[in-house]
Structures are given as C-alpha cells and as structure tokens.
Amino acid sequence: MRRAHRLSVLIAVLAMITGLAGTAEAISIIATTTIVADVVRAVAGDDAEIVTLLPPNADPHSYEPTPRDVVSVSNADVVFVSGANLEAQFANILANARGTVVDLSTRIALRYGADIEHDHDEASSGEQGDRHEEAHRHGEFDPHVWFDPTNVMIWTAAIEEMLCELDPDNSAVYAFNAAAYRRALAELDLWIWEQVARLPYGHRDLVTDHLAFGYLAARYGFRQVGAVFPGLSPLAEPSAKELSELVDTIERLGVPAVFVGTTVNPAVAEQVAADTGAVVVSLYTGSLGDRGGAAASYIDFMRYDVKAIVEALTR
C-alpha cells in the first residue's frame, strides 16, 4: 500500500509539472507581410504562434493598417518587419509597440532608389546618374530585398538571434531550424542560377509594373529597363510621356513580356503590351499566394517567379 501511495503521489506531481509546462506562455510573434511570416516560421517552427498583419495577396505598398493590427502589435513580444521603409504606413503603430521591433533589413546592403538601366550612351548615363543622386538625397531605398535569397539568409540570422534572446530554453531548436533553412535558401540560390543560365545575356531585360526586381537583377544578371509605374511602388500614375518612352524601350530592345504583380491592377500594363506586341505575365511580388497554391511559401514564390520570367524571356 505504501508503495502504491508513493506511486500515486509521484504520478500526481508529474501531472502537475506537465500541466505547468503546458500552460507556459509562448512567445507572441507578429510579422508584417506573408513573406516575413513564412521565413519567421521556418526558424520558429510550425507550432509557433505567429500573427501576420497583411493577408495573402495584399499589396504592402497600399495596405492600410486596421484597429486589429494596432491591438496585435501592442500585445506582441516581438514584431518582425521587412524594413527599408516598406512598412512606412505602420510607423505610428510600431512606435508604440510593447515588444521589440526587428527590422530585418538593417544588415543588408540596400540598393538606392528606382534605378532603370539605360543603354550606355552619354545622355542616358547622365539621366540615370541624376535619378540615382536624387534617390540618394531622399534616402529612397529599394525595399524589395527578398528577391535575393542571400538577403533572406541575413533575415534568418536576425530572426534566430531574437528568438534565442526571447526564449533561450529553445535556442538549440531555433539554431537547428535556421541552419536547415539557410541550406534550403542556398539550394534555391543555386537553382535560380541554373535557370537564368538558360537565358543569353541579351535576353535578360525586365519590364515590370513597378521597380521591384532590382535585387534579383543585381544578383542574377538581369536588367530593369522599364516599368509601367516608374518607381518603387505601383501607387503613382505614369504620365503619357513616361508610357510613350516605355513603349519605345520595349520596341527598341525587343522585350517580349511585361511582368505584373498579382496585387497590381494590370490594365495599364495590358495597354502597353497591346501597343508593343509583348505579353503580360503575372508574378508574385510583395505577397505570397493562398495556402496550398503555387506560391504558398517563400521558396515556392521564388521558384514560381523565376520559372515564369525565364519562360517568358525565351519566347
């Protein structure tokens, strides 16, 4: 009886300990975009509690924060933002965050401004230099850093460090997950190089809805030669002169496709394509797609876009 009693007491104590462990509060994590959230989850693990402010297929340039976003941010232990001014509309909310706000792009060598690569004649070089200098003066960084997987490796390191700081008991798990994800990103980077190698250098000109592909172009040898909305977001309406110059560029360079993000109204791009004989090709730019779709994760997102670009430029 005494042994049975001791066993009962031991079982009760173990149950109490297990119950206390089960009620320990998890880290409350906020991610601004679906892309950021996917990378955070890769490090934190599938069971992590992550709230994403922007829903799938939302344009981060035009999204307006909601009262629910205010509450979520104010209650979070940590808020991961893409940075480089992408989430400018969240500035007031983030300033009042209770937890730590982590700008994932602070360690990345950011690109300045809305650079379009012109032909290397004297006039174009001067115009490009003026645009670059103006962007430099206004601090206009290109926020689309995720189009280079090596930048996302930098994100991964920052996420790992913060999670280990907030939850040191699980630091080994975060370190393991981060290392595994960096290996997956390295494989993605190699795969992109292999795909782009199918394109001759003279067939790597990109015309897009807005200038979102500077980091992709810089790493893999593309050129951004024009955009329907000539800036870092698709919010400003292009002038008639700018559209005319874009049509001339497409015809002169023989660009076969205009790439338009899934979150952008394609009407103007479709008109440009109709005027030039180019085709409109849909890409994911600032957001992942729906769960279970072709771009449900960051790696799927990149694979989808690169395949679509390479196929369109081989026409």
Predicted confidence (pLDDT) at residue 104 exceeds the cutoff of 70? yes
Distance of alpha carbon 11 from alpha carbon 80, whole angstroms: 41
- Asked if 204 and 254 count as a contact pair (C-beta separation under 8 A), the reply is no
Distance of alpha carbon 283 from alpha carbon 247, whole angstroms: 21
Percentage of the residues of the chain whose pLDDT score is greater than 70: 83
- Range 122-142+200-313: architecture per CATH: 3-Layer(aba) Sandwich (3.40)
The Cα-based distances of 128 to 48, 122, 123, 245 in angstroms read 45, 10, 9, 15
Reported as a pLDDT band with limits 50, 70 and 90, residue 237 is confident
CA atoms within 13 A of residue 44's CA, in its CB half-sphere: 28
Distance of alpha carbon 221 from alpha carbon 152, whole angstroms: 19
pLDDT at 10: 39
Q: Which CATH class is domain 29-104+148-187?
A: alpha beta
Residue 208 φ then ψ, to 5°: -130, 175
Q: What is the pLDDT of residues 160-195, one digit of tens each?
A: 999 999 999 999 999 999 999 999 999 999 999 999
Asked, colleague to colleague, whether 29-104+148-187 and 122-142+200-313 share their fold, the answer is yes
Locate the domains of the chain by residue range: 29-104+148-187, 122-142+200-313
Please state the pTM of the whole predicted model: 0.86
pLDDT at 4: 43
The mean per-residue pLDDT over the stretch 102-110 comes to 97
Which residues lie below 8 Å from residue 256, measured CB to CB, with a gap of 6+? 278, 279, 312, 313, 315
- Asked if 111 and 222 count as a contact pair (C-beta separation under 8 A), the reply is no
> Residue 295: helix, strand or coil by DSSP?
coil
